[in-house]
Structure 1
Amino acid sequence: MGLIGILLGLALLIWLAYRGWSVLLLTPAAALIAAIFAGEPLLAHWTQTFMGGAAGFLAQFFPIFLLGALFGKLMEDSGSVQSIARFMGEKLGARHAVLAVVLAGAMVTYGGVSLFVAFFVLAPMAQALFRDANIPRYLMPAAIALGTSTFTMSALPGTPAVQNAIPMPFFGTTPFAAPGLGTIAALIMLVFGLWWLGRGVASARRRGIGFDGALIMSAEQAADDPLVRERATVAQAFDPAEIHHGQVSTDLPPVWISILPLIVVVAVNLAMTLLVLPNLDLAYLAEDRWGPTSPAAVGGVWSVIVALLAAILVLLGLNRKRLPNLRESVDAGVNASVLPVISVASLVGFGSVVAALPAFELVREWVLGVGGGPLVSLAVSTNILSALTGSASGGLTIALEALGSTYLQLAGELGIDPALMHRVAVIGAGTLDSLPHNGAVVTLLAVCGTTHKDSYLDIVMVAIVGAIVALAAVIVLGTMFGSF
């Protein structure tokens, strides 16, 4: 009965979330349904287990959500994202329209700009380039997704994406875990995605299909759509409703000024990881008043926090005159982080309740019994949970909360570098999360004015199939040569 309760609660969560109901209410309800079937105390699971799991996620990752959303909003309102997009469009032009959109998206998201902010800017850019090149509009979402939601989220070493931060406390790793394997995976995703999109452009031209129509829904309209908002906030670290607030500068900064804060994010992240934190005396973290915890458990998150803070200060120093309503922009940025982090934390709370039920032992045994060893098992578990929740960050956290210590123990017993486990977990979470109910997919289609029928197959190929190929390559190379 306990297993039936888990499945029923999960089915209710998926079905109602897809229909636009808020996960803030659905997740405790689904958790209590699972607890009822297991004969477990309901209020204790809600206030102790559910809220304990949700609060733990907030305590660890709210600073990254907060600073990431603020940085993204300031990059938008200063005109920096628009400047980068315009620069890529002018340099590559309509002849290389797809590549321009992909590289512009990759540049801003690898530098720490939130997905929805990137969507808001890249959709009009892609529309103009695709119209000039006479490329079908239905390829726009896949091109944007390839640049923003694949290799810069899960594979490139040092990415400040929250998904890359989540495994760090569990495995004691850094944002640059398995840099060689991550780079190889990123190249596979990029090359595969560009090949597929190039194939789509060639096919459309053979059939005489060109660009047709204007955007059906603007980014502003998408932000006001309640269904889009509910789905988006579990899949990205920015509340679309805040996109209206603040004032976007009409005086776009030079491209070098626009790119510099992005470079600062990566450079400071690397310096903190390799130079600063390893040379600090952090023995005090073992004291009871700090947890106790360890440098390995918090160092990765600290690196990302400092990198984002430094980038925000640099951005403000370079663009203060381009932010006439600074307080409003700051308020919008920090407010945009709240609903996403609480929504994902609620998913984590649901996972904590499920993991605490006796019937979860059956799930644990099945996952750990998957053939191919712990790397394959870890990839399968993060894939499945991210697919079911429609959230890479939520699915990844649930998997690691429930099984992270087990995988770390297996890594020690089998001589597997935790950095390899980190990279496999992150790439695994970024594959099947892009199913039709994923909030980023729904938002992107709405912003681009296309439908699942028109564009979803291309999204599947660039965001799911390419990522699975890269994941398989990392597992094979990691098994053969270890982490590098």
Structure 2
Amino acid sequence: MLGLIGIIISLGLLMYLAYKGISVLILAPVLALLAVLFQSGQTHVLANYTEVFMVNFAAYAKAYFPIFLLGAIFGKIMDDSGAAKSIAYAISSKLGKDKAILAVVLSCAILTYGGVSLFVVAFAVYPIAAALFKEADIPKRFLPGSIALGAFTFTMTALPGTPQIQNAIPMPFFGTNAYAAPIIGLIGSAVMFGGGMLWLTRRTKKAMAAGEGYGNHKEEVIKDVDISKLPKFSLAIIPIILVLVVNYLLGKYVFATMNGDFLKSFGGIKLASVQGIWSLISALVVAIVISLIIFWKNIENVTNTVNKGAIGSLLAIANTSSEVGYGNVIKTLGGFAILQAGILAIPGTPLISLAASTSILAGITGSASGGMSIALGVLGETYLQKAQVLGINPQVLHRIAAIACGGLDTLPHNGAVITLLGITGMTHKQSYVDIGMCTVVIPLIATAVCILFASFGVV
């Protein structure tokens, strides 16, 4: 029992101190070892650090660093070239100020679905989104929720083919690709998009009817976008389309049909466990090369852009790897057996247990990718075995895990939420109700709906 108490204290401190702004790079190893100290018998603190925490840290980095690296470089190219802003401007100008919220959501969604990182999307879209909201006199406090709906929800986890890391993590566990369980993914996307738009539209109409406008934000700094210097929309959208098309074609027609016997000399890994990752890596490489060719003249310093993108990926992969290392230390402790038994004992289909464990851990760590990595690293094989016995398609496991990780991850201590509020100049008090509804409550409802459909054999 003391071991279980230690795990609970460790998890509680991780959530609280992360919210206070202390880096996960520091928190994860320290709090993992704190939990070790609560275990009865010999603790072997340093052995747990070097042989469990760091081994799993390295294993995660080895598996997913290429995606973090290439995704960050691609996002930086789209940002510095003005391509991201060009897409946002084209959509907003087409829809007009009367549909400002829809314009912002769709701009963020297209960029995120095309492989641009969530943070880059928020930075790129904000100036145009703020101008739209101001022109339409929509209260600015609804702007963070609009960006979050487009960037942090359905295109991050549910929409089939999304190249975001949250959709890549389940691939090696279940032998799937980015387009796993497409119907379930589309259903989840419809619930999140439709529910979020309904919520934001009603909230803004009510506020504006009460006489609330954009507001006077004295410290607001919005850089004007010189539209004449942006790439044409027809060019800006090409790399986005390439990521999706190349990823699909390679995953379905090249790597999926390849003879994987050559992998025997690489430790005997199965082709199914790497083909999804290979497809995504290849797609991002193609998109980067083509975007550099197309936008070469639009980027002030190509070397600087590529370098900044590469360096920016390091913190993201290190943070997530630390969370994975933390989870695997917890996994080895005696107290965790009680937690594991409780999670696996959740009644009903194992999809409910999978969704619960993934979402709860994402909430504790404040990271969708970190929470899902811990959950699948600890219980992924168990869920796969249960699914095989019950005849559940592994694709469904992939999609439910991905959608579920995008629920509790965006609680107030989440780094993306804090960054988004900083970009927009809003506070938790002003905007978190709408962020929380669009990125926590509605995605949880979407998860439940998807589990219901999956229970009837929908894939």
Q: Deviations over 1:75-130 (max 9, x none)?
A: 01111001111111111110110010000000101000011111112111111111
User: 2:364 maps to what in 1?
Assistant: 388
Residue 441, structure 1, aligned to residue 442, structure 2: no
Q: Deviations over 1:388-410 (max 9, x none)?
A: 10000000000011100100110
User: 1:239 maps to what in 2?
Assistant: none
- CA RMSD for the aligned pairs? 1.5
Distance 1:249 1:35 in 2: 56
**2:351·2:400 contact (CA, 8 Å) conserved in 1?**
yes
Q: Deviations over 1:18-61 (max 9, x none)?
A: 11112112111111111111142111100000011111110100
Q: Name stretches of at least 5 consecutive residues in structure 2 with no aligned partner.
A: none
User: 1:453 maps to what in 2?
Assistant: 429
Q: How far apart are 1:481 and its partner, in Å?
A: 2.1
User: 2:264 maps to what in 1?
Assistant: 286
Give SS of 2:230's match: coil
Distance 2:256 2:12 in 1: 45
User: 2:79 maps to what in 1?
Assistant: 76
Q: How does 1:395-414 map to 2 (within 5 A)?
A: 395-414=371-390
Q: Name stretches of at least 5 consecutive residues in structure 1 with no aligned partner.
A: 221-247
Residue 254, structure 1, aligned to residue 232, structure 2: yes
Q: 1:200 corresponds to which letter in structure 2?
A: R
**1:215·1:448 contact (CA, 8 Å) conserved in 2?**
no
Give SS of 1:292's match: coil
Cα 1:12/1:217, change in 2 over 3 Å? farther
Residue 277, structure 1, aligned to residue 280, structure 2: no
TM-score normalized with structure 1 length: 0.92
User: 2:210 maps to what in 1?
Assistant: 207
Distance 1:175 1:215 in 2: 44
Residue 476, structure 1, aligned to residue 452, structure 2: yes
Distance 1:340 1:161 in 2: 13
Q: How far apart are 1:219 and its partner, in Å?
A: 8.6
Q: How does 1:184-223 map to 2 (within 5 A)?
A: 184-214=187-217, 216=219
User: 1:310 maps to what in 2?
Assistant: 286
Cα 1:374/1:31, change in 2 over 3 Å? same
**2:184·2:458 contact (CA, 8 Å) conserved in 1?**
no
**1:431·1:464 contact (CA, 8 Å) conserved in 2?**
yes
Give SS of 1:481's match: coil
Greater CA drift, 77-86 or 11-20: 11-20
User: 2:150 maps to what in 1?
Assistant: 147
**1:218·1:447 contact (CA, 8 Å) conserved in 2?**
no
Q: Deviations over 1:361-393 (max 9, x none)?
A: 111100001122200000100110000100000
Given the alignment, which residue of 362, 369, 377 partners 2:338? 362
Distance 1:393 1:173 in 2: 17
Q: How far apart are 1:460 and its partner, in Å?
A: 1.4
TM-score normalized with structure 2 length: 0.97
Distance 1:69 1:250 in 2: 26
User: 1:223 maps to what in 2?
Assistant: none
Q: How does 1:43-442 map to 2 (within 5 A)?
A: 43-214=46-217, 216=219, 251-287=229-265, 290-442=266-418
Distance 2:401 2:108 in 1: 23
Residue 26, structure 1, aligned to residue 27, structure 2: yes
Equivalences, count = 454
**1:417·1:482 contact (CA, 8 Å) conserved in 2?**
no
Residue 36, structure 1, aligned to residue 37, structure 2: yes
**1:428·1:471 contact (CA, 8 Å) conserved in 2?**
yes
Q: How far apart are 1:324 and its partner, in Å?
A: 3.1
**2:183·2:458 contact (CA, 8 Å) conserved in 1?**
no
Distance 1:427 1:213 in 2: 37
Cα 1:79/1:360, change in 2 over 3 Å? same
Greater CA drift, 102-111 or 451-460: 451-460
Cα 1:321/1:275, change in 2 over 3 Å? same
Q: How far apart are 1:249 and its partner, in Å?
A: 10
Q: 2:330 corresponds to which letter in structure 1?
A: V
